[in-house]
């Protein structure tokens, strides 16, 4: 069960070095996005039965997103339209080398997923063995779901961004697995910029998380869990980098697929890193 972002993405790739304060030539594409959506779709493509819980607007973008989820065999019965807010949107400008130049997002509708929104859904939610949440949900909602998850349901969260990671402070001790990048981990721990991934993962585990994965781009990923503290180097890329924006979601999805199939966490993480490397070499997820 993936709970959180379902987003209309607009991606613009600059055709030359970006010059601020003026018009820049770009190639634009539109696609489905959102961390929870991306993880649900990639897990479904890997053969898992997945469902997404989210809010959309009563608009064309929301209708397109629902059709595409159905085509990817993700269950959508718990996705509902908001009476007034538009579907969440994210726009990014990439440099010619595929790196992110700037991005902006309107996620207001996702913040309408309050604890009250989830009250009538709890019976349906309780039937699944794993909940994946993203921090497009508010701090109040994240804490509510952490407190009310059923016994035996694994709780996994992705920190999503530096601006939203702090929403996790109250529920860190309830998490079975936390995914975050180095910047997000530094925010959550208060550590200096010089602190690297593995010490950050260990520090977050000491705050109560049962397992923590801290990604650090070309430096790989650090894992701290019961009896395991290791730094995994990134796998070789199968081609040139085209788009960096979906790699983190791919790492999460690949790791969760491995866990659901019974792999040990280090092996599952290696699979997630391989999927992330493949994603870097193509547009979209």
Q: Cα(105)–Cα(150) distance, rounded to whole angstroms?
A: 32
The pLDDT value recorded for residue 240 is 78
pTM (two decimals): 0.90
What is the SS3 assignment for 193? coil
The pLDDT value recorded for residue 218 is 87
The pLDDT value recorded for residue 283 is 63
Give Cα separations from 119 to 28, 81, 113, 116 (angstroms). 39, 17, 10, 5
The pLDDT value recorded for residue 239 is 78
Architecture in CATH for domain 2-15+28-280? 3-Layer(aba) Sandwich (3.40)
The pLDDT value recorded for residue 245 is 66
Query: How many Cα neighbours within 13 Å face the side chain of 61?
Result: 19
The pLDDT value recorded for residue 247 is 86
Q: pLDDT (tens digit, 0 to 9) for every residue of the chain, 285 residues total?
A: 999 999 999 999 999 999 999 999 999 999 999 999 999 999 999 999 999 999 999 999 999 999 999 999 999 999 999 999 999 999 999 999 888 899 898 999 999 999 999 999 999 999 899 999 999 999 999 999 999 999 999 999 999 999 999 999 999 999 999 999 999 999 999 999 999 999 999 999 999 999 999 999 889 999 999 999 999 999 887 777 776 767 899 999 999 999 999 999 999 999 999 999 887 777 667
Closest CA to 36 of 232, 252, 189: 252
Q: Where are the domains of the chain?
A: 2-15+28-280
Strand partners of residue 11? 29, 92
Contact 188, 182 (CB under 8 A): no
Give Cα separations from 74 to 1, 48, 51, 100 (angstroms). 10, 9, 5, 28
Phi, psi of 40 (to 5 degrees): -60, -45
């Amino acid at each position: 069960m993936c709970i959180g972002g379902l987003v209309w993405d607009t991606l613009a790739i600059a055709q030359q070095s970006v010059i601020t304060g003026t018009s820049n030539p770009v190639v634009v594409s539109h696609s489905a996005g959102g961390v929870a959506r991306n993880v649900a779709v990639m897990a479904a493509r890997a053969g898992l039965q997945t469902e997404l819980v989210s809010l959309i607007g009563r608009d064309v973008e929301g209708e397109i997103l629902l059709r595409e989820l159905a085509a990817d065999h993700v269950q959508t019965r718990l996705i509902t339209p908001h009476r007034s807010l538009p579907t969440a949107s994210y726009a990014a400008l990439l440099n010619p080398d595929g790196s992110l130049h700037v991005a902006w997002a309107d996620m207001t509708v996702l913040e309408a997923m309050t604890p009250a929104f989830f009250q009538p859904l709890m019976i349906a939610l309780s039937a699944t063995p794993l909940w994946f949440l993203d921090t497009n949900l508010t701090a109040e909602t994240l804490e509510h779901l952490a407190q009310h998850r059923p016994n035996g349901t694994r709780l996994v969260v992705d920190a999503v961004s530096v601006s939203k990671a702090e929403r996790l402070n109250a529920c860190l001790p309830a998490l079975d697995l936390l995914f975050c990048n180095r910047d997000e981990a530094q925010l959550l721990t208060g550590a200096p910029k010089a602190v690297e991934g593995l010490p950050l993962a260990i520090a977050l585990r000491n705050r109560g998380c049962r397992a923590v994965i801290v990604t650090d781009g070309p430096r790989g990923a650090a894992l701290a869990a019961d009896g395991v503290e290791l730094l995994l180097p990134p796998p070789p890329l199968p081609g040139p980098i085209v788009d960096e924006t979906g790699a983190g979601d791919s790492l999460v999805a690949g790791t969760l697929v491995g866990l659901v199939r019974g792999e040990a966490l280090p092996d599952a993480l290696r699979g997630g890193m391989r999927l992330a490397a493949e994603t870097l070499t193509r547009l979209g997820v």
